[in-house]
């Protein structure tokens, strides 16, 4: 079979569609977020499937709410009868920041994690002054 080279200025719909750098962004799938307004609060829902609650940190610093998630899956080699031939896992860390205002404190923000979704309730009103960077506990 002979391969015929494509001319540089020739248009190919499929090559141009799948050769788009926008589609190649690997981080586009990480930490997809929905932000909605409910009463006097903003609700931020962050998709973190596969992450454990213990590996998620939420911090406030200078008006920014930062969500950081780490994943480190290790292979259990104790079972001598079972051996992995191929395994695909994500190892690493991702983080995302949201500006929520200079007057919020970590006590003002409520966090919960259920079914791979981190939900943050952030009040619209900002009555207090931020002191320093602190972690927010997840329910």
The percentage of residues in the chain with a pLDDT greater than 70, rounded to a whole number, is 65
| CA 40 vs CA 62, 65, 109, 124, 126: distances in Å | 22, 18, 12, 6, 11
Enumerate residues 6+ apart whose C-beta is below 8 A from 123: 40, 41, 42, 104, 108, 109
> Which residues are within 8 A (CB) of 89 and not within 5 positions of it... i.e. 6 or more apart?
71, 73
Spell out the residues 6+ positions from residue 99 whose beta carbon is closer than 8 angstroms to its own: 63, 64, 65
Domain ranges in the chain are: 31-73+90-135
**Closest of 53, 64, 30 to residue 118, by C-alpha:** 53
The pLDDT confidence band at residue 139, using thresholds 50, 70 and 90, is: confident
State the CB neighbour count (10 A cutoff) for residue 26: 6
Report pLDDT digits (tens) over 121-137: 999 865 555 566 778 88
85 vs 55: which has the higher pLDDT: 55
CATH annotation of 31-73+90-135: 2.60.40.790
Torsion of Cα atoms, 128 then 132 then 135 then 139, to 10°: -10
Mean pLDDT, residues 107-116 taken together: 93
Query: Is residue 68's pLDDT more than 60?
Result: yes
List the single range of 44-53, 78-87, 89-98, 124-133 with lowest mean pLDDT.
Answer: 124-133
Q: Please, what sign has the CA dihedral across residues 92, 131, 65, 119?
A: positive
Q: In the chain, where do the E strands start and end?
A: 33-38, 41-47, 56-61, 64-71, 92-99, 110-114, 117-123, 134-135
């Amino acid at each position: 079979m002979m391969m015929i080279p494509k001319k540089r200025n020739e248009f190919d719909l499929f090559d141009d569609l799948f050769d788009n750098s926008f589609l190649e962004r690997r981080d586009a799938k990480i930490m997809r977020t929905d932000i909605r307004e409910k009463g006097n609060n903003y609700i931020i829902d962050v998709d973190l499937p596969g992450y454990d609650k213990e590996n998620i940190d939420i911090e406030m610093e200078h008006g920014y709410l930062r969500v950081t998630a780490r994943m480190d899956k290790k292979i259990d080699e104790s079972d001598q009868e079972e051996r992995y031939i191929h395994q695909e896992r994500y190892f690493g860390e991702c983080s995302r920041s949201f500006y929520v205002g200079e007057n919020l404190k970590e006590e003002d923000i409520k966090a919960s994690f259920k079914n791979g979704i981190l939900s943050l309730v952030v009040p619209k009103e900002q009555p207090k002054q931020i002191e320093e960077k602190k972690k927010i506990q997840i329910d």
